[in-house]
Amino acid sequence: MKKWMRGLTVILATMFLIGMLSSSVTAAATSAYLVKDDSGTVYYYDAEELEDSFINNQLESGDDTLYLAFIETFKENGFYAFQNSNGEYIDYKDVESAFLDDPDNFNLGEYLVSDEAERVTDMPATVTKVTVENGELVEKVMETETGNVEPTIPEVIDIY
């Protein structure tokens, strides 16, 4: 039963991630996705890099190494936090709760920068940024300044 529930959670979270990655409003409000493993290591995935890798995966062309690595880490641990465009870390459990409270009207992009969003209060002094260089997965330890990593703000292109 526990295995079945874990599988359902992974499926629902993956659907949630796909929805987030495909929304330009969310992309503008989200600088990074963070996953924390059992040892306490926090993995930092730049939103723009992850979105590009996700698109490559869906189109079955280009380098999808980062997305595949993210999915593996995510399956084992789940989300920990989002970094918003202001460089603040927003607790995933808070985001999930807000979504479940009102799924029809929930807007992730707006919520992440709102005053209602619960900030992570116990960010470690370092995070492990996961990226791809020359087709190889690379992990770099980055210091956090007072719990914030300098955000990478993606360029938003209006296609309409």
SS3 annotation, 125-136: CEEEEEEEECCE
| pLDDT for the residue 9 | 54
The per-residue pLDDT for 29 is: 80
Least confident of 1-5, 21-25, 39-43, 135-139: 21-25
Q: Is the distance from CB of 72 to CB of 26 less than 8 angstroms?
A: no
Query: Could you tell me how far CA 47 lies from the centroid of its own chain?
Result: 6
List Cβ neighbours of 124 (8 Å cut-off, separation of 6 or more).
40, 42, 144
Q: Is the pLDDT of residue 25 over 70?
A: no
Is the CB of residue 65 less than 8 Å from the CB of residue 132? Answer: yes
- CB neighbours of 80 closer than 8 A, spacing ≥ 6? 34, 35, 36, 42, 92, 120
47 three-class SS:
helix
Lowest mean pLDDT among 16-20, 50-54, 98-102, 115-119: 16-20
Cβ–Cβ under 8 Å, residues 33 and 43: no
Confidence of residue 49 (pLDDT cuts 50, 70, 90): very high
- Interval 94-126: pLDDT, tens: 999 999 999 999 998 899 999 999 999 889 999
